[in-house]
Amino acid sequence: MALTEDNAGAPLLSVEDLRVYFHGDDTVSQAVDGIDFTVGPRETVCLVGESGCGKTVSALAVLGLVPTPPGRIVSGRIVFSGADLAKMKEEELRKIRGNRIAMVFQEPLTSLNPVFTVEDQISEAIRIHHPMSEEALRQRCVELLADVGISSPEDRLSDYPHQLSGGQRQRVMIAMALACDPELIIADEPTTALDVTVQSQILMLFSSIQLRRNMSILYITHDLGVVAGVADRVYVMYAGIIVEQAETVQLFGSAKHPYTRGLLASLPSRSRRGQRLYSIPGSVPNPARKPSGCPFHPRCGHAIASCRTEYPPMCDYGQGHLARCPVLFESAGRKVRR
Amino acid sequence: MKDRQNNETPILQISGLKKYFPVRRGFFQRISGWIRAVDGVDLSVPPGKTLGLVGESGCGKSTVARTVLRLLDPEAGSIRFDGEEISRLTEAELKPVRRKMQIVFQDPYGSLNPRMTVGQSIAEGLRAFGIRSTVRRQSRTAELLELVGLSADSSERFPHEFSGGQRQRVGIARALSVEPDLVICDEPISALDVSIQAQIINLLKDLQQRLGLSYLFISHDLNVVGYLCDQVAVMYAGKIMEEAPAMALFEDPRHPYTRKLLSAIPEPDPSRKGRTAEAFEAETEAEPRPEAAPEGCPFLSTCEDRDARCEHLEDAMYPVAEGHLVRCPKASGNVGSEGFPDCI
């Protein structure tokens, strides 16, 4: 796979040919089916896709959090600053998880423990990874809360999650993620449960933290509006594979895959008033019963006979813009190397 | 829009609608206060049109829907459906009215009985409203399924056999089974996948054209509201803060809250990235507390444009242009001689 970062150095996280399957009684769901992606230093990368496309499972796989069984990482390398996380033992992984890679989940109320105070929960990761005196620990928690924009942080330390608003809870989640100064934060739909005004505050918080701390962010979302607001680069997932990857401006300006194009064309907005919205026919395939060949072919207006049988190769449009659709690639006058 | 408003009675007209919920405390669960979920709301839906009701969670928009349907009893105010006052009707008197207004819920899975086939779910409404013949119910069910873009044989299947978008189609078929005039859509697409949302929006639009339906469309998604609605009302802490024709609201928002809401829309346009940076560097979010603030502007604590007068704001809407009202004398633009314009 071509390196797509502007900065020449090696990516911080590089995932190669990751496959995660879930085994049911008599079915196998190929939730993630051979994906490659990289996250460079100080880069915000979005994995975008609909429910069931495998974006969350990919993120969990990076942290070794795929529930096993039924899940299983079938193949793949997950290289994080030189070391393959997929080969690591649990004890080694535990030194990285919450320390060098941290995660922010979608639903702060369910991911926070209701019987522990804010201070307990933020300090937990620090106690494990960087033990320090109680005094210093408390000081660190106050700093972290202030950092994520919580007013009068000293008073909030002894609060329980139910005493906080939705936005404050997500701020606490972010403070927990920041506790050990991670190099990479994986944020899985962190604003989906929030109101728009709070969402935009949290998105701003992410970008300001990233600037201040020189972190990388892997941001998982289904919302193309959010993608446009935060991402440097985007990977579009569909049915367990990456169908398109590009820099954000490229993706929104000239999408190359029929699925991405369809998604962008189907977004309602006031500028489309009076026009009929484009809609992608059909629905998202069940991961256990994926179509053969290109998984998007039953819903695709450009599909030809070979789409039904042949797995589509990644076609390189240059400048890090790749799309898994040879039909459109060839119709643009380019030659597919198979 | 204008001629309709003048010539026809609105299909739904609510005025001064109030719905309070008690806050109970202590061992005896004594009522210690009231949450003003809906606190004096005026709205009107003209026939064949779509009124959007937007606001953030907890602002009272779903309570408005439930009160209009009389699933909750209002504390005060009037609800006129097609000219008839329904806010004080008894259950028996309500029955014929209920047939004329239906609701489509957010979660199509939670609102369908998992043990009933889709056909049974749809036929339930038909039976309740007096279609006794099984054959007629079946043919009507098949007709409805086709109307919402499902094959007629899906009536034998159970909800779990359908995808989210298909289930929402069933929910819509069910609402339409009794031939309503008004359909209240409470976040009908927010639980659906992005690629499915457009299908349902198109369906709602087609049905409106074919059947002349009126919609009260409740949503927090301003992109959808801007696309679909004719008139939009912005709700905050139980009150309407601004109401305007959709284009006017988006192009000339007056109320500070409306502006804040609009600037927070995540738009699929990377050139806007970071544009709202300054606006949201604000340290903490203040949220409306429906329990507090009995007097003055509900947006007072967060508003950047506040002054002393805002603490004693009259409970009134100020006109900006035709059909455009705002609950902020300063924002209306026509400031009168004493600093406040004439309210209506």
H helices of B213-285, in order, are: 222-228, 246-251, 256-263
Q: Do A224 and B227 touch (CB under 8 A)?
A: no
Distance in angstroms between the alpha carbons of the first and the last residue of chain A? 14
Query: Contact B163/B83 with Cβ under 8 angstroms?
Result: no
pLDDT at A271: 86
Please report the residues numbered 152 through 191 in chain A whose beta carbons come closer than 8 angstroms to any beta carbon of chain B: 165-168
Instruction: Report residue B185: phi and psi, to 5°.
Output: -105, 110
Residue to substitute from B284, B299, B301, B302, interface A, most A β-carbons within 10 A = B284
- Specify the pTM: 0.85
User: Distances in Å between the alpha carbon of A65 and those of A60, A108, A126, A212?
Assistant: 5, 18, 20, 28
pLDDT (tens digit, 9 = 90+) per residue, A90-105?
889 989 998 899 999 8
pLDDT (tens digit, 9 = 90+) per residue, B254-277?
999 999 899 888 888 877 665 444
Instruction: Quickly state the pLDDT bin for A283 (edges 50, 70, 90).
Output: confident
Q: Do B266 and A208 touch (CB under 8 A)?
A: no
Residue A274 in contact with partner chain B when CB distance is under 8 A = no
Distance, CA of A12 to CA of A18 (rounded, Å): 17
Query: Contact A35/A268 with Cβ under 8 angstroms?
Result: no
> Which residues on chain A are in Cβ contact (under 8 Å) with B220?
195-196
Distance in angstroms between the alpha carbons of the first and the last residue of chain B? 21
CATH code of the domain occupying A13-253? 3.40.50.300
Q: Do B198 and A280 touch (CB under 8 A)?
A: yes
Q: Is B49 helix (H, G, I), strand (E, B) or coil?
A: coil
Tell me the three-class secondary structure of B119-156, residue by residue: HHHHHHHHHHCCCCCHHHHHHHHHHHHHHCCCCHHHHH
Reading the block at residue A147, the tokens are 């950092």
Comparing A61-65, A140-144, B295-299, which segment has the lowest mean pLDDT? B295-299
pLDDT at B334: 58
Residues of chain A with CATH 3.40.50.300: 13-253
**Residue A1: is its pLDDT beyond 60?**
no
Q: Do B285 and A165 touch (CB under 8 A)?
A: yes
Mean pLDDT along residues A228-237: 93
> Which residues on chain B are in Cβ contact (under 8 Å) with A277?
198, 201-202, 227
> Which residues on chain A are in Cβ contact (under 8 Å) with B168?
none
Q: Do B264 and A222 touch (CB under 8 A)?
A: no
Residue A284 in contact with partner chain B when CB distance is under 8 A = yes
Range list of β-strands (E), chain A: 13-23, 28-39, 44-48, 71-80, 83-84, 101-104, 184-188, 216-221, 233-238, 241-247, 315-316, 322-323
Q: Which residues contact A138 (CB under 8 A, 6 or more apart)?
A: A119, A123, A157
Please report the residues numbered 86 through 125 in chain A whose beta carbons come closer than 8 angstroms to any beta carbon of chain B: none
Query: Contact A18/A78 with Cβ under 8 angstroms?
Result: yes
Distance, CA of A87 to CA of A319 (rounded, Å): 32
Distance, CA of B283 to CA of A124 (rounded, Å): 25
pLDDT at B331: 82
Query: Contact B35/B20 with Cβ under 8 angstroms?
Result: yes
> Which residues on chain B are in Cβ contact (under 8 Å) with A283?
163-166, 193, 195-196
Residue A295 in contact with partner chain B when CB distance is under 8 A = no
User: Distances in Å between the alpha carbon of B41 and those of A4, B44, B211?
Assistant: 54, 10, 28
Selection from B107, B90, B179 nearest residue B143 by Cα? B179
Residues of chain B with CATH 3.40.50.300: 2-236
Q: Is A77 helix (H, G, I), strand (E, B) or coil?
A: strand
CATH code of the domain occupying B2-236? 3.40.50.300
Q: Do B283 and A197 touch (CB under 8 A)?
A: no
Helix (H) or strand (E) holding B168: helix B164-176
Q: Do B223 and A225 touch (CB under 8 A)?
A: yes
**Residue A159: is its pLDDT beyond 70?**
yes
User: Distances in Å between the alpha carbon of A4 and those of A195, A216, B310?
Assistant: 34, 15, 54
Reading the block at residue A194, the tokens are 């929030």
Mean pLDDT along residues A213-239: 92
Instruction: Report residue A316: phi and psi, to 5°.
Output: -95, 115
User: Distances in Å between the alpha carbon of B316 and those of A149, B164, B237, B242, B312?
Assistant: 35, 42, 15, 11, 12
pLDDT at B284: 43
Instruction: Quickly state the pLDDT bin for A5 (edges 50, 70, 90).
Output: very low
Helix (H) or strand (E) holding A90: helix A90-96
Distance, CA of B280 to CA of B264 (rounded, Å): 9
Residue A273 in contact with partner chain B when CB distance is under 8 A = yes
For chain A, what percent of residues have pLDDT higher than 70? 97
Please tell me which of the candidates A196, A223, A231 has its beta carbon nearest to residue B264: A196
Query: Contact A264/A280 with Cβ under 8 angstroms?
Result: no
Residue A150 in contact with partner chain B when CB distance is under 8 A = yes
- How far from chain centre, in Å, is Cα B271? 31
Q: How far is B88 from chain A (nearest CA, A)?
A: 34
- Give bridge partners of residue A47 from the DSSP assignment: A220, A235
Q: Do B285 and A200 touch (CB under 8 A)?
A: no
Q: Is A334 left (phi over 0), alpha (psi -120 to 50) or beta?
A: beta
pLDDT at A101: 94
In a structure prediction context, what are the per-residue pLDDT tens digits for chain B, which is 344 residues long? 444 444 578 999 999 999 999 888 888 888 888 888 999 999 999 999 999 999 988 889 999 999 999 999 999 999 999 999 999 999 999 988 988 999 998 877 788 888 999 999 999 888 887 778 888 888 899 989 988 988 888 889 998 888 888 889 999 999 999 899 999 999 888 888 888 889 899 999 999 999 999 999 999 888 999 999 999 999 998 999 999 999 999 999 999 999 989 988 888 887 766 544 444 444 444 454 545 555 778 888 778 888 877 888 788 899 998 899 999 888 877 554 444 545 44
> Which residues on chain A are in Cβ contact (under 8 Å) with B269?
228, 252
Q: Which residues contact A45 (CB under 8 A, 6 or more apart)?
A: A37, A38, A39, A216, A217, A218, A219, A231, A232, A233, A234, A235
pLDDT at B298: 84
Comparing A2-6, A7-11, A206-210, A291-295, which segment has the lowest mean pLDDT? A2-6
Reading the block at residue B123, the tokens are 């036929």
Q: Do B163 and A204 touch (CB under 8 A)?
A: no
Position B174: which residue type? R
pLDDT at B154: 86
Query: Contact B120/B137 with Cβ under 8 angstroms?
Result: no
Selection from A207, A250, A211 nearest residue A226 by Cα? A207
Mean pLDDT along residues A308-314: 93
Comparing A1-5, A141-145, A201-205, which segment has the lowest mean pLDDT? A1-5
User: Distances in Å between the alpha carbon of B76 and those of A180, B32, B40?
Assistant: 54, 20, 8
Mean pLDDT along residues A31-40: 93
pLDDT at B306: 80
When the pLDDT of each residue in chain A is averaged and rounded to a whole number, the result is 88
**Residue A212: is its pLDDT beyond 60?**
yes
Please tell me which of the candidates A196, A248, A276 has its beta carbon nearest to residue B270: A248
Query: Contact A58/A35 with Cβ under 8 angstroms?
Result: yes
Distance, CA of A248 to CA of A112 (rounded, Å): 32
pLDDT at B338: 47
**Residue A170: is its pLDDT beyond 80?**
yes
Residue to substitute from B189, B194, B197, interface A, most A β-carbons within 10 A = B194
**What is chain A's alpha carbon radius of gyration, rounded to the nearest angstrom?**
21
pLDDT at B43: 95
Q: A69 preceded by cis ω (within 30°)?
A: yes
pLDDT at A100: 92
